Structure 1
Amino acid sequence: MKVSVSTPSRICLFGEHQDYLNLEVIASAINLRFRAQGVKREDRIIHVRLKGEHIEREEIIDLDKPITYDHNRDYIKSAINVLRRKGYGITSGYDIHMDSDIPIGKGMCSSTTMTVVFIKVLLELMNHPDKHDPEKIALLAFDAEVAEFNEPGGLMDHYASAYGGLLHLTFNKEKTCVNPLQTEIPGCFILFDSLEDKQTTKVLASAKFPVLEAIHELGEYGISSIRDFVENEDYLMYLEKLSLARQVKVKANIDNYKTLKEAEKMFASGNIDSERLGELLKRHHGNLRDGLGISTSKIEEILNTAYENGALGGKINGSGGGGCCYVYAHEADSQKILDAVCDKGYWGVILKQDSGVRVDK
């Protein structure tokens, strides 16, 4: 019997570059998906065919031989190794075909969705009870993608893809708390590709490690989190202990956390002020651009063109340094905005909210 599964990409509304700081994120799954179809083989070979935007490759994995990595980010093989190491008995071979309409290398979590959907199809083919558990799937995918290769990423993409919908995620050190938000956001989001490739791990490291080092440096004053500066403003005086470069990054994260909390209150009230939501997205992006330095001239051209044609707000999506961005707008203005930006040579698409990892008919 053939099994068909898929999982969504996501946009991060608030909390970009804050999941790995054990803070909070508000994200939405969108209707760009990674798909996989699988069927059992009579031998112990896992044969994977992958096709996507500008990518086509094949993996042949013999379960009777040690599975070694040909390169960093060898996520198909790492997913199998992680599953086996955690006691999931993969005893049969499978033919698995994978494809995607998610932009590759653009901050749209294409590698995460590939890993999530690959683990989902394996669990379905194995008929393992964890196939119904989005949190287990998210954590397995995180181990295969991030922990296995000691990469600097966080958990947002894995949870957003596995759970779907609109989520408020709180990343405590002990456990990630998942709060599905039932609020329906009026208007729409429009995704744009800057046509610039980026080095995700390099951008993540430049934004992540200086902040973690700064928090550690201020530990002697009782500071252990960005959250401390918001809950007790007396701690702000200690920022002068940091180098200027670290001060800028920490201050950007402090204001982005405040921005998220304002948005969280709005979503919890169920009364969405579209203009205010747009302003908060602009403010978040300003901190990412000026504080963390992850925007580019092309991203700024896209956003400014969209604003000139009626967009209410917008931001870079993902780790930054290229890739994709999106804007928020009234539906009546969406086509005008899309056309204006695409006329400058960029690719764009109007987005809808979508469900999480699932079995498809």
Structure 2
Amino acid sequence: MIKIQVPARICFYGDHQDYLDLPVIAGAIDRFIHLWAIPNPKKEFVLELKDLGQEFSIVLNDDLAVVEPGDFFRSGMAVLKQHGYVFEEGYFIEISGNIPVNAGLSSSSALLVAWIRFLVTINGKADEVSDFQIGRWAYDAEVKFFNSPGGLMDQYTIAQKGLLFIDTKSGKSERLVGNMGKLLVAESGLAKKTLLVLKNANVFAKKAVASVKQAHPEFNLAEAVLGDYQRYGQFVPADFQDHWYATIHNYHITLQAKAELEKERPDLQKLGNLMNQHQQILQERIQNTPMEMAKMMDAARMAGAIGAKTIGSGGGGCMVAMVPENKITAVKKAFLATGAKKVYEVEIIS
């Protein structure tokens, strides 16, 4: 039997920065997708998605010429076929997990990473292919294959695990030695609006940067400093001012957090403050946070959370909070009292 376990992920700093080729800080956490597979005599993959109550088959001789949007199983096969992989033996495959769906913890990317690992394993190359390459192929299958607006953070973090500073332009990752302290994830119960939020934020941010580069072709976003917000702001149309602010300030917050997490004993209060600053920008500038979730996070901070923010693209889904050990119970109660459906502790895993 083939057994594969793949984690969820949290972006702590740098949300809505990866499509601008700016860095992010993200970590893999101990919520998982599990895949079990045994050979079958059929020339097909027979899949059972336990949590969704779905069963379907993929015949091995499918030419994959037409792949419906969101069919990551076939897109994953198509991507690997482009790299010489073949699928000759059928399998019964069962998939389940404890990552909430459509909630910001990247259940879809985790599922796809598990699938890519399975396809690599049945080709006898599990020991030859790097985690980086697994992440790359998962990104190709989820984003590039469908020309979607997302970045590469989810797939690269899930495949490589740990707490990472990711250069989203190259995909190069740097492992951070610091920790985030005690972490709580709260499920809001509100469905995310991933594609709508991502599309708007992506388009507006890119237009803001393009307007600056049109006036000053020498401007390099990767070398931007806080003063550039004021220096070039006059060249940004009013409709894109909020996203111009978010681009420059979130980048600065991410770099500050990186400097702190490069230390073996980071200042958790400083990291919490940076998380709150990041959330304020997401909430007020990118406008990705429903009022209900904002109230939940305010209550969590009042109960003792050091920092709190939405997870993922926004519009709904989960929140993460940094919490002192002696405040865990109080913060859990605060989340639940203001409408959260579930709250649980998580750890970053390597």
Scaled by the length of structure 1, what TM-score is found? 0.92
Determine the C-alpha separation between the residues in 2 that align with 1:18 and 1:302. Answer: 25
3-state SS, counterpart of residue 321 of structure 1: coil
Q: How much has 1:264 moved relative to structure 2?
A: 1.1
Partner of 1:358: none
Determine the C-alpha separation between the residues in 2 that align with 1:244 and 1:130. Answer: 52
Determine the C-alpha separation between the residues in 2 that align with 1:184 and 1:235. Answer: 30
- Contact 1:116-1:138 within 8 A present in 2 as well: yes
Q: How much has 1:92 moved relative to structure 2?
A: 1.6
Q: Which amino acid aligns with 1:268?
A: E
Determine the C-alpha separation between the residues in 2 that align with 1:28 and 1:219. Answer: 33
Tell me, which stretches of 5 or more residues in structure 2 are unaligned? Answer: none
Q: 1:344 to 1:242 in 2, by over 3 A?
A: closer
Give the 5 Å matches for 1:1-361: 2-52=1-51, 55-67=52-64, 71-129=68-126, 132-172=129-169, 175-185=170-180, 187-220=181-214, 221-222=216-217, 225-230=220-225, 233=227, 236-346=230-340, 347-355=342-350
Q: Deviations over 1:178-233 (max 9, x none)?
A: 11112233x311111111112211110111111112222222312555334318x4
Q: Deviations over 1:271-326 (max 9, x none)?
A: 31121111110000001111111011111111011111110111111000111111
Q: Deviations over 1:239-273 (max 9, x none)?
A: 21221121111111211111111111111232311
Determine the C-alpha separation between the residues in 1 that align with 2:84 and 2:123. Answer: 13
Q: 1:131 to 1:31 in 2, by over 3 A?
A: farther
3-state SS, counterpart of residue 270 of structure 1: coil
Q: 1:194 to 1:235 in 2, by over 3 A?
A: closer
Determine the C-alpha separation between the residues in 2 that align with 1:134 and 1:180. Answer: 13
Q: Which amino acid aligns with 2:62?
A: K
3-state SS, counterpart of residue 189 of structure 2: coil
Q: How much has 1:330 moved relative to structure 2?
A: 0.7
Q: How much has 1:132 moved relative to structure 2?
A: 4.4
- Identity rate, percent: 28
Determine the C-alpha separation between the residues in 1 that align with 2:156 and 2:61. Answer: 32
- Contact 1:130-1:137 within 8 A present in 2 as well: no
Q: How much has 1:69 moved relative to structure 2?
A: 5.1
Q: 1:280 to 1:61 in 2, by over 3 A?
A: same
CA RMSD of aligned residues (A): 1.8
- Contact 1:278-1:314 within 8 A present in 2 as well: yes
- Contact 2:229-2:248 within 8 A present in 1 as well: no
Q: Which amino acid aligns with 2:185?
A: L
3-state SS, counterpart of residue 230 of structure 1: coil
Q: 1:191 to 1:155 in 2, by over 3 A?
A: same
3-state SS, counterpart of residue 218 of structure 1: helix
Q: How much has 1:129 moved relative to structure 2?
A: 4.4
Determine the C-alpha separation between the residues in 1 that align with 2:179 and 2:107. Answer: 25
Q: Which amino acid aligns with 1:215?
A: V
- Contact 2:178-2:260 within 8 A present in 1 as well: no
Tell me, which stretches of 5 or more residues in structure 1 are unaligned? Answer: 356-361
